[in-house]
Amino acid sequence: MASDKKLYIKTYGCQMNVYDSERMAEAMGGQGYTQTDRPEEADMILLNTCHIREKAAEKVYSELGRMKVFKAEKPDLKIGVAGCVAQAEGEEIMRRQPMVDLVVGPQSYHRLPEMNAAVQAGKRAVDTDFPEEDKFEHLKARPKAARAPAAFLTVQEGCDKFCAFCVVPYTRGAEVSRPAERVLREARDLVERGVREITLLGQNVNAYHGGDETGDWGLARLIRELARVDGLERIRYTTSHPNDMEDDLIAAHGDCEKLMPYLHLPVQSGSDRILKRMNRSHTAESYVRLIERFRDARPDLLLSGDFIVGFPEETEEDFQATLDLVREVGYGQAYSFKYSARPGTPAAERPVVDEAEANDRLQRLQALLTEQQRAAQQAMVGREVGVLLEKPGRMAGQMVGKSDHLHAVHLTTGAAVGDLVRVRIVESMTNSLTGEVV
């Protein structure tokens, strides 16, 4: 196969897709493809898609519409759809979009090279299986090229929770953990290539159970083991579910220095009635108590969450309970969404909340969350934090990095990308902080 082919990947949705896109690029690298950020020069375009909300899925079809131009100019161009839309609507994509050559679900990426061979021979290829083999092990070993200082590492995939609104259990399949020893190997390899911070990823990352012959490994044990890797300075994890929290993970926030003071723990709603209808199997109260335990272990923990407003049958009273919970917890960061009915999920069959009402609730919730986010940023002013330098800023001598609490920080320094510096925060801007090296 020619060795100068170009691959363009567009990634939608969550961080797991970002990680998967990297691994797909590496798999195709073995076939002579190098990555480009210019779709017009690509020999293959891959859309790595997200199905979580209706808008995300619709974007894929409109993007495919735009891709027609490239295909018209370059008939040899191959177009592939990967990710959760591929999983959920593979056959339909093939029907609706005759120019799509390849559809590959999230558990089948390791089969991409074979599929590409079929595509190059003029066939169309679809693979949306949930294969037995571990895709990560079958993917090519990660090449030794230097890396940016912060990296994602998927350790767990899939979900068995079946929240009534969510497509993830259908698109990503059942909860599966990667064996600890493979995760550690990949982490060491990343560190050798310049990585200083690793974010462990999973749809339910705290349900991690990657046992070996010495027994069961929960996420806390994995984190403690990773903390022993020299050169790895920071560890984070996302996304967690309140029901899978083990005591040792809470404790690790207090005694594991490399574990950063940040927790993304979605609650979705503050109304017990709605939580029940969502099949969340926790209450607002049990969530708040859990947060208290984390804050006891690590008082400066920055909390992040996900919320859905306008879930079927949500009343103004239910919504007020969500606002109450947000006021009680105090979030430094949050993501809020208007409910979007997803085909095949239980909630999709239920009576919907009036659209204008749902929009209004979203606005009110976002106003409160924005206020809290600003306050949390403002509270950093005067404090000293660690900042991992990630890239040069716009002006000479400037650098941009991430603080321990995951705030973007701008500063002037002679230090290099990948350095971890101590910084005093001097100002809070709209979406970032300004600091001075101490």
Residue 342 binds ligand SF4 (CB under 6 A)? no
Stretch binding ligand 5AD (CB under 6 A), from 58-66, 68-76, 194-202, 338-346: 338-346
**Identity of the residue numbered 40:** E
Alpha-carbon span 419 to 402, nearest angstrom: 11
Which CB atom, from 70 or from 335, has the smaller least distance to ligand SF4?
Answer: 335
Classify residue 218 by its DSSP letter.
-
Task: Decide which of ligand SF4, ligand 5AD, none touches 241; Cβ closer than 5 to 8 Å per partner kind.
Answer: ligand SF4
Among 105, 266, 312, 332, binds ligand 5AD (CB under 6 A): 266
Residue owning tokens 């939580």? 275
Alpha-carbon span 349 to 199, nearest angstrom: 36
- Judged by CB under 6 A, the chain residues 340 through 369 that form the site for ligand 5AD are 340, 342
Segment 109-118 long-range contacts (CB within 8 Å, at least 24 positions apart): 109/20, 109/23, 109/24, 109/27, 109/82, 109/135, 109/139, 110/27, 110/135, 110/136, 110/138, 110/139, 112/24, 112/27, 112/28, 113/27, 113/28, 113/30, 113/31, 116/28, 116/31, 116/44, 116/78
256 is in an annotated binding site: no
**Identity of the residue numbered 246:** E
- Judged by CB under 6 A, the chain residues 289 through 308 that form the site for ligand 5AD are 306, 308
Segment 33-38 long-range contacts (CB within 8 Å, at least 24 positions apart): 33/5, 33/6, 33/7, 34/4, 34/5, 34/6, 34/7, 35/6, 35/7, 35/8, 35/9, 36/6, 36/7, 36/8, 37/8, 38/8
Residue 201 binds ligand 5AD (CB under 6 A)? no
Residue 277 binds ligand 5AD (CB under 6 A)? no
Task: Decide which of ligand SF4, ligand 5AD, none touches 308; Cβ closer than 5 to 8 Å per partner kind.
Answer: ligand 5AD
- Judged by CB under 6 A, the chain residues 148 through 167 that form the site for ligand SF4 are 159, 161-163, 166
Which CB atom, from 274 or from 380, has the smaller least distance to ligand SF4?
Answer: 274
Which CB atom, from 60 or from 308, has the smaller least distance to ligand 5AD?
Answer: 308
Task: Decide which of ligand SF4, ligand 5AD, none touches 339; Cβ closer than 5 to 8 Å per partner kind.
Answer: ligand 5AD
Question: Torsions phi, psi of 131, nearest 5?
Answer: -70, 160
Annotated binding site: 14, 50, 84, 159, 163, 166
User: Which residues sit at the interface with ligand SF4, rule CB under 6 A?
Assistant: 159, 161-163, 166, 168-169, 203-204, 241
Q: Can you say which residues are annotated as belonging to the binding site for [4Fe-4S] cluster?
A: 14, 50, 84, 159, 163, 166
For binding to ligand 5AD (CB under 6 A), which residues are involved? 52-53, 165-166, 266, 268, 306, 308, 337, 339-340, 342
